[in-house]
Every structure is written in structure tokens, then in C-alpha cells.
């Protein structure tokens, strides 16, 4: 792995201590950032120098909740129209995921990862379901992740909805994958224990999962209070809110990710805050499913680390960030509310969440961190500095072209050209054929 310095770019570090740097250079050694210093101090280093004038150098973006397999629904129009979120699940997702086959898992992940590289996203926390091809599905996704060069945290969503046998296969799939990737074994691929949602898991299932997760200290990745119906079900059938029920089984710990949290009670928010788990908001998905808008301001005020995911609506994190901000303005009925709370989800909290799996500094440009970075073509037409950089990210850089994407010091894209060992056109062609076949099986 070669060593090099990048100079000439304005640097956004996502480190609040020194967020904007100009006149600096960054040195990469053995896949890590070894130094960030004024260019004058680094220019005589005996290694390759990359001139990035006219560009912004910033961390590779992190998607904290995604579904690779959803890649295969782009343009799909066969699902019956739905009156509420549960009908969306029944009419589309729970019909479609049953039809996924092993190769679909690989190809959908590879296409989504390639799209992520093109838009500057280098770390993805994914949540997978393919209930009729469970065993080995995570290995297929991991292979795609490896082939594209990004980093991903994978899990299989355990659910009772397809019967006890498939629930147990799902548990086994998580367990086998966690044995391989649950800790420090791999620098690129990580694992969590996936669960669909509390409303598709009986107490017996939660007990069974807790027996595995709690002693091992695994984090869970689950949809929580996405729609009001999740809360209603848990209250009607178990007399508890979603978070109270999960916490009663000791399933929530600091490594856990609760996706959505649109309908959490203040008491549940306090519990999540105390238990140290993250909530990942997915504003485009929530708007699309008409389930509501998460109260990110309130959750932040209560000390929760709120991250940003896309729930597979896109892999463009800066698009999701913008929509998150507009949605929060609407949620708070105040066009000035939520700016820092929403900006922090992507810029500061997603790195904090990812650091639980990938280690110190991940998702930031700081010495010792993984050299996961992007270069963006951006020649600001208004002052760019320590005070204005976040506004530039949301309103300006989000509209600019990602020029280059680097993971572990390796260029996966350079000047807009992909440098993968994969044949992208061939893969897209295969994806069209597989999607056509999937749609016909639907």
C-alpha cells in the first residue's frame, strides 16, 4: 500500500476541534492518516504528492441505516397501493424479500456500493432480509462489499413473520457472521445482530435472542417505533412501549442501533439516552411512508447520539441530510430550528456511531484514523471558513461533483472514473436481468 500526501485542497475534518483547515496537507501511510500539517511542513516528505487544488478534502460519508437488497426495486411498479405503513410492508417489502435469491444479494450490494462510491459514501451499516435464502446471504453481501472496496457493517433481520424455522435460520445467520466479523477480525467488514422490529418478534423470540446477544455483548440493529403501529402493537400485546420491551430483555446497549425512532415517548428517549444506544433517523423514508418525522431536536436535547441513514431511499448522504433539515423545520414548525442537530447527525454522530465498530477517528480526518476520504470539486462563491463550512456542506458541497473516493488509502474512484477490479457495466447488465426475473417472480 503506497504512502502519499494530498495538498492544495481545503480540508473539512469533521473534528469539531479543528473543523476547517486551509493551507494544510494530509499524509497517508499504510491505509491510515498519519499526519495533517501545514503544507510547508509536509512538502518535503519522500512520497508521492497529489495536487488537489480547487477541491475539498473531507471524510468519506457514512450511511448508518441501509438495505442493500432494496436496490432491485428502482422503477418497480407492481406493488398494490398502500393505505398505511403496514400495508407498504405487506404489499411490497415482505412480498419482495421472499423472492430474493443468493445472487440477488451479491449483485444488489455491489451495485449499491458502486453508487455509494460515486456519491462519496464509504461506510454503510446495512440491514438485510431474504427469508427464503437466509443461510450464506451475509457472506454474499460481504463478498460484494469486499469486491467494491468499501466498508460495511452487516446483519440479518430476524423476524417471526415467516415462521419459527426461518426465525431460527436468521438467528444462526447472525451468529455465524458475528463469529467472523463481530469484533476486530476484519478492518472492512463488521457485524451486528439484526432484528426486524419488536412488532414481528414474540417474547419467546426476544428471550432466545437475548440469551445469545446479552452474554456476548453484541449490539443489535433493529427498526424501532418507525410507525405508530409498532407502538400500538407492543402496547396492545405486551403492555409496553417498544424500547421498554427491548430493554426488559437487556437487548439495548451502547453498540446498538435503533433505526427511525419516529414515535418514541419521552420516557423511551430517556431510556435510550441512558443505555447509550444510537438512534438513526431516515427522513426521506419516513416522509415517503407517511409515518411522521422524528423529533431529532428533542432526542439530541436528551443526549442521544442521533445518526443519519437512508433506509435505502438513496446512497447520497448529502441529499438525505438536506431533506432531514427541511423535515425538521416542518416538525418543529420553525424554519430556524434543528440546523446543528441535523447537521450533527451526518457530520459528527455517524462517525461516533461508526467508531464503535471501526475504532477511533473513523469518519473523521484526524491522525490515526482510517484514510477514508473524498475529494469534491468545489470552488466556493461565498466565504468558506470555520464559521460557514457546515452551511457550505448542506447548501453548496451537496450540489457539487464527487471527484475521487478513497478507502483505506486506496483510490476507488479517481477524477470520476471507477478503479474497481469489477466490470461495472457487466454488473449493471446482470442486475437488470436479475431484477427483471425478481419482478416476474413477485
Q: Which residues are at the interface with Zn ion (CB under 5 A)?
A: 311
Name the minimum Å distance from CB 380 to Zn ion: 35
Nearer residue to Zn ion within complex by CB, 15 or 311:
311
Inter-residue contact 438 to 96 (CB < 8 Å): yes
Q: Residue 355 is placed in which grid cell? A: 467508531
Give dist(CA 360, CA 358) in Å, integer: 7
Give the closest residue to 144 by CA, choosing from 136, 2, 96, 194.
136
Give dist(CA 49, CA 251) in Å, integer: 48
Give dist(CA 247, CA 250) in Å, integer: 5
Q: Which residues pair with 58 in a beta bridge?
A: 374
Name the minimum Å distance from CB 279 to Zn ion: 13
Name the minimum Å distance from CB 225 to Zn ion: 13
User: Which positions ≥6 away from 208 have C-beta within 8 Å?
Assistant: 171
User: Which positions ≥6 away from 325 have C-beta within 8 Å?
Assistant: 338, 339, 342, 343, 394
DSSP for residue 333: T
Name the minimum Å distance from CB 223 to Zn ion: 5
Nearer residue to Zn ion within complex by CB, 55 or 221:
221
Nearer residue to Zn ion within complex by CB, 226 or 403:
226
Nearer residue to Zn ion within complex by CB, 246 or 407:
246
CA dihedral for 379, 384, 389, 395, sign (positive or negative): negative
Nearer residue to Zn ion within complex by CB, 182 or 194:
194
Nearer residue to Zn ion within complex by CB, 12 or 220:
220
Name the minimum Å distance from CB 115 to Zn ion: 17
DSSP secondary structure string, 76-98? ---SPP-SSHHHHIIIIIHHHGG
Nearer residue to Zn ion within complex by CB, 167 or 223:
223
Name the minimum Å distance from CB 100 to Zn ion: 15
Give dist(CA 270, CA 284) in Å, integer: 25
Name the minimum Å distance from CB 193 to Zn ion: 15
Name the minimum Å distance from CB 282 to Zn ion: 7
Q: Residue 234 is placed in which grid cell? A: 407492543
Nearer residue to Zn ion within complex by CB, 20 or 94:
94
DSSP secondary structure string, 6-57? EESSEEE-S-GGG-EESSEEEEEETTEEEEEEEHHHHTT-SSEEEE-TTEEE
Nearer residue to Zn ion within complex by CB, 97 or 311:
311
Name the minimum Å distance from CB 308 to Zn ion: 13
Q: What is the largest CA-CA distance in the chain?
A: 68
Name the minimum Å distance from CB 442 to Zn ion: 20
Residue nearest to Zn ion (CB): 311
Give the closest residue to 247 by CA, choosing from 223, 275, 270.
275
Nearer residue to Zn ion within complex by CB, 34 or 281:
281
DSSP secondary structure string, 152-175? EEE-B-B-STT-HHHHHHHHHHHH
Amino acid at each position: 500500500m503506497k504512502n502519499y500526501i494530498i495538498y492544495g485542497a481545503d480540508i473539512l475534518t469533521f473534528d469539531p476541534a479543528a473543523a476547517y483547515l486551509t493551507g494544510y496537507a494530509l499524509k497517508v501511510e499504510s491505509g491510515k492518516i498519519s499526519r495533517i500539517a501545514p503544507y510547508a511542513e509536509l512538502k518535503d516528505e519522500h512520497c508521492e504528492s497529489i495536487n488537489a487544488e480547487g477541491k475539498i478534502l473531507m471524510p468519506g460519508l457514512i450511511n448508518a441505516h441501509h438495505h442493500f437488497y432494496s436496490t432491485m426495486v428502482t422503477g418497480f411498479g407492481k406493488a398494490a397501493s398502500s393505505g398505511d405503513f403496514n400495508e407498504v410492508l405487506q404489499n411490497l417489502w415482505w412480498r419482495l424479500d421472499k423472492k430474493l435469491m443468493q445472487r440477488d444479494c451479491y449483485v444488489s450490494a455491489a451495485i449499491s456500493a458502486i453508487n455509494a462510491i460515486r456519491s462519496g459514501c464509504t461506510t454503510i451499516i446495512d440491514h438485510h432480509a431474504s427469508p427464503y435464502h437466509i443461510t450464506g446471504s451475509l457472506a454474499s453481501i460481504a463478498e460484494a462489499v469486499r469486491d467494491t472496496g468499501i466498508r460495511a457493517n452487516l446483519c440479518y433481520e430476524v423476524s417471526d413473520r415467516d415462521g419459527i424455522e426461518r426465525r431460527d435460520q436468521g438467528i444462526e445467520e447472525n451468529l455465524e457472521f458475528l463469529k467472523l466479523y463481530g469484533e476486530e477480525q476484519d478492518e472492512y467488514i463488521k457485524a451486528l445482530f439484526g432484528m426486524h422490529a419488536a412488532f414481528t418478534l414474540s417474547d419467546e423470540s426476544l428471550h432466545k435472542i437475548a440469551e445469545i446477544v446479552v452474554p456476548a455483548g453484541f449490539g443489535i440493529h433493529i427498526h424501532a417505533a418507525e410507525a405508530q403501529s409498532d407502538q400500538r402493537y407492543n402496547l396492545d400485546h405486551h403492555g409496553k412501549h417498544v424500547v421498554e420491551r427491548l430493554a426488559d430483555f437487556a437487548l439495548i446497549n451502547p453498540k446498538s442501533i435503533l433505526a427511525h425512532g419516529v414515535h418514541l415517548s419521552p420516557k423511551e428517549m430517556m431510556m435510550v439516552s441512558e443505555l447509550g444506544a444510537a438512534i438513526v433517523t431516515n427522513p426521506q423514508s419516513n416522509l415517503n411512508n407517511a409515518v411522521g418525522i422524528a423529533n431529532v431536536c428533542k432526542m439530541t436535547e436528551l443526549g442521544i447520539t442521533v445518526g443519519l441513514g437512508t433506509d435505502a431511499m438513496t446512497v447520497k448522504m448529502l441529499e438525505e441530510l438536506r431533506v432531514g433539515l427541511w423535515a425538521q423545520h416542518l416538525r418543529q414548525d420553525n424554519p430556524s430550528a434543528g440546523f446543528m442537530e441535523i447537521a450533527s447527525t451526518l457530520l459528527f454522530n455517524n462517525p461516533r456511531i461508526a467508531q464503535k465498530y471501526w475504532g477511533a477517528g473513523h469518519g473523521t480526518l484526524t491522525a490515526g484514523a482510517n484514510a477514508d476520504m473524498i475529494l469534491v470539486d468545489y470552488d466556493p462563491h461565498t466565504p468558506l471558513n470555520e464559521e460557514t463550512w457546515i452551511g457550505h456542506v448542506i447548501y453548496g458541497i451537496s450540489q457539487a461533483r464527487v471527484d475521487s473516493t478513497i478507502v483505506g488509502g486506496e483510490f476507488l474512484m479517481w477524477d470520476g472514473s471507477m478503479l474497481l477490479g469489477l466490470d461495472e457495466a457487466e454488473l449493471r447488465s446482470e442486475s437488470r436481468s436479475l431484477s427483471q426475473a425478481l419482478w416476474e417472480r413477485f
